[in-house]
Amino acid sequence: MSRKSASPQPPASRPFAYRNRTLHCDGASLTALAAEHGTPLYVYSAQQIAHRYQLFTEAFAKRPHTVCYAVKANSSLAILRLLGQQGAGFDIVSGGELERVRKAHKPALKKVVFSGVGKQIWEIDAALAADILLFNVESPAELDLLAARAQALGKRARFALRVNPDVFAETHPYISTGLREHKFGIDINAARALYRKAAKSKWLEAAGVSVHIGSQIRNVSPFAAALARVAALIADLRRDGHDIRFVDAGGGLGIDYGTHNFDPAAEVKKYAAAINKGLAGESAHLILEPGRFIVAQAGALLTRVLFVKQNGAKTFVITDAAMNDLIRPALYHAHHEILPVKQPAKPAKLELEADVVGPVCESGDFFARDRKLPAVKPGDLVLLLDAGAYGMSQTSNYNTRPRPAEVLIEGSEAKLIRRRETMRDLLAPELLP
């Protein structure tokens, strides 16, 4: 599933643009960044991240809400601090992500929601000690464990059941979460009885209802359908005597990974309209969990061409970045636009059709198949767009490869926010008997 690029121009919704025929991120030259920090290199726009966050606060300004950024999308401490300073809360799925929030912006611990199907005792204890806003509980067994740990620590646990509304969203099957056959959530039809059971424990406080139907969803209608079912459940729960104060709508709003016209503000407005339609007259405090929409298009992966190889009729552009640096194309067959950092003299002319691949010893190590590109040669820099979400956060050390450095651009200033790993870093945890 690969698409052929129609143009080497960066789409307007990204912070990357050519100046004097050299690609920049805001005011920073990518050529200069590569010279200073090496490649592969993740590059992010602080301005774009802050702007995307503000789109949500503006779209939902007429109702009480908290935007809890989904840490799993990109867990860089500097990006978490940037968002925390903007006023964001955080959606976490592990104890490790809780610690990242603590280190990045400690005041935001009070605005943390903890999701995930396999919370461990130490993670629950840490979240209780931090007095987070809400546990999104995903099974009866987890609810029992939460009650037991709350009792052991002498703390009352605020929770929401993550209900599964059985709403289909058109997205990749690996990131669809709203159907009965998925591992996530609790059947919405079984939720009322579970809330009744929880009311018998003085260590549990039923404070909300949560839902999340998937990721990279472009048609907003499923959001409205899911929230309508949640609103009906909340009405039933209030009749049962539960003080439901929060409704967590999850995340999942998608972006355009291609070259089409994409208006982020209009997309968020449509999303807000769908959420408000689904909730109708429901006035509970709304929690939103955007991740990808905030950071994906703010970031890109900068890499250098090592070789251009011909195998019969097939051309391969081999870069110093690989699937361990950006696994989305191999994992999801995801599309990322690829741009030369030096703009061709004739930008509209696409001179090369090639597979863009990395050095890892796997046939699945590719960024694009049969992609039309401007001609490139060894030593040239190219940029993979829309890699700010699920790029660095899914990196690995496969083939004993150090993970990339990261830089955050603020105006024309580039701040190194993660140094490149060294061989010493990679080998440090290992022991020889």
Q: Three-state SS for 342?
A: strand
Can you give the pTM of this predicted structure? 0.93
> Please, what is the end-to-end C-alpha distance for the chain in angstroms?
46
**Residues tagged active-site:** 361
Instruction: For tokens 């309508």, name the residue.
Output: 228
Quickly list DSSP for 266-313: HHHHHHHHHHHHHHTT--SEEEE---HHHHGGGEEEEEEEEEEEEETT
What type of residue is 239? R
**Are the beta carbons of 183 and 117 closer than 8 angstroms?**
yes
Residue 109: per-residue pLDDT: 98
Residue 178: per-residue pLDDT: 40
Token duo for residue 13: 């919704």
Sheet holding 16-19, edge to edge: 16-19, 22-25, 28-29
Query: Considering the domain 75-290, what is its CATH architecture?
Result: Alpha-Beta Barrel (3.20)
Domain boundaries, the chain: 16-45+297-427, 75-290
Write the CATH number of the domain with boundaries 16-45+297-427. Answer: 2.40.37.10
**Are the beta carbons of 297 and 388 closer than 8 angstroms?**
yes
pLDDT tens per residue across all 433 residues of the chain: 334 444 455 667 899 999 999 999 999 999 999 999 999 999 999 999 999 999 999 999 999 999 999 999 999 999 999 999 999 999 999 999 999 999 999 999 999 999 999 999 999 999 999 999 999 999 999 999 999 999 999 999 999 999 998 886 654 443 444 445 556 789 999 999 999 999 999 999 999 999 999 889 999 999 999 999 999 999 999 999 999 999 999 999 999 998 878 899 999 999 999 999 999 989 999 999 999 999 999 999 999 999 999 999 999 999 999 999 999 999 989 999 999 999 987 755 568 899 999 999 999 999 999 999 999 999 999 999 999 999 999 999 999 999 999 999 999 999 999 999 999 999 999 999 9
- C-alpha neighbours within 13 Å on the C-beta side of residue 92: 30
Residue 352: per-residue pLDDT: 87
CA 316 vs CA 216, 246, 358, 380: distances in Å: 29, 52, 10, 14
Residues in contact with 350: Cβ distance below 8 Å, sequence separation at least 6, in sequence order: 5, 8, 372, 373, 374
Q: Containing H/E element for 95?
A: helix 95-104
